[in-house]
Amino acid sequence: MTEHNLTPIGLTTEQFAQIAGVKATSVRVRLCNTGSYFGIVPQKMPNNRLFWPHDSLERLCRASSNSSAEKA
């Protein structure tokens, strides 16, 4: 995985999308439609920029494994 220049607050939407393996537009559309990206909610800054939690990948993996376990 490539190294990301992390901000102290979190990941930018572009960084988050790259880690998740999707386009940033897909993240924004899902956020607008549901209020989160599969349960992950970014922090909105006063200048309207979004910052996603540093542990977003772990949260996505955990959510994915939990939904797989429920189906079994």
Tell me, yes or no, whether 46 lies in a domain.
Answer: yes
Strand ranges, E, within 1-72: 43-44, 50-51
In a domain, 4, yes or no: no
Question: How much is the pLDDT for 60?
Answer: 82
Q: What predicted TM-score, i.e. pTM, was given to this entire model?
A: 0.74
Domain membership of residue 18 (yes or no) is yes
Quick one: pLDDT at residue 4? 57
What number of other Cβ atoms are within 10 A of residue 37's Cβ? Answer: 23
72 pLDDT exceeds 60?
Answer: no
State how far the alpha carbon of 17 is from the alpha carbons of 30, 31, 35, 65, 70, in Å.
12, 12, 16, 19, 26
Supply the range of the domain harboring residue 59.
13-66
Q: How many domains does the chain have?
A: 1
Give the tens place of pLDDT for each residue, 2-18.
Answer: 555 655 689 999 999 99
Alpha-carbon gap, residue 54 to 66, rounded angstroms = 20
Please provide residue 63's backbone torsions phi and psi, each rounded to the nearest 5 degrees. Answer: -65, -40
